[in-house]
Amino acid sequence: MSSFNNSAVAFLAGTIILFVTSCSANSSGEELKIGAQYEVISPIFLQGVYNSLNNRKLSPETARAYINTTRQYKRTEVAFQVEVPVGTIMTVVRSLESAWHIPYLVNQYIVKLTPDPSRGLDVVLSLDRGLAGDLDGLTCVRRL
């Protein structure tokens, strides 16, 4: 019975490692570089979200804007939601480092949109890695 438990533990550990490494590369096969520019080629949405429901001010300290591929339902933490028009230029400003260094978390970047519908907020772009999420491999933009 002990050999069965060891085999099961080894199988489970192998499965977890396979899952984590399969999620570690974004589906576009490309890492974003600071300064890289992209053109929006199909509609995306920008959603301003308050950091706290106790402070509903729109400023870089109290809210952020997130890019989504679909329109989201109106929720209490959402300050605004606008469609980013086709032809908008997106420039990668910097990588957004996470306090948690967990391999299967998606890469996030601060980007600048031109024209800018962000109302002064930092715009966060999340790269999906095959899980449900934002901009699955940047299919909504093309590199300039």
* CA–CA dist 92, 111 (Å, integer): 4
CA 18 from centre of chain: 22
pLDDT in tens, 29-59: 456 788 989 999 888 899 999 998 888 888 9
pLDDT in tens, 9-37: 544 444 444 333 333 333 344 567 889 89
Nearest CA to 41 out of 84, 70, 82 is that of 84
Q: What is the pLDDT of residue 55?
A: 87
**Count of CB atoms situated within 10 Å of the CB of 46:** 22
At 115, is the pLDDT very low, low, confident or very high (cuts 50, 70, 90)?
A: very high
Burial 61-83 (b: 16+ CB within 10 A, else e): eebbbbbbeeeeeeeeeebbbee
CA 56 from centre of chain: 23
Residue 72 near residue 45, CB atoms below 8 Å: yes
Q: Is the pLDDT of residue 5 over 70?
A: no
Q: Is the pLDDT of residue 123 over 60?
A: yes
Strand arrangement, sheet containing 63-68: 78-84, 44-50, 63-68, 123-126, 108-114, 89-95, 37-40, 141-143
Instruction: Dig out the tokens for 123 from the structure.
Output: 């715009």
Q: Is the pLDDT of residue 87 over 80?
A: yes
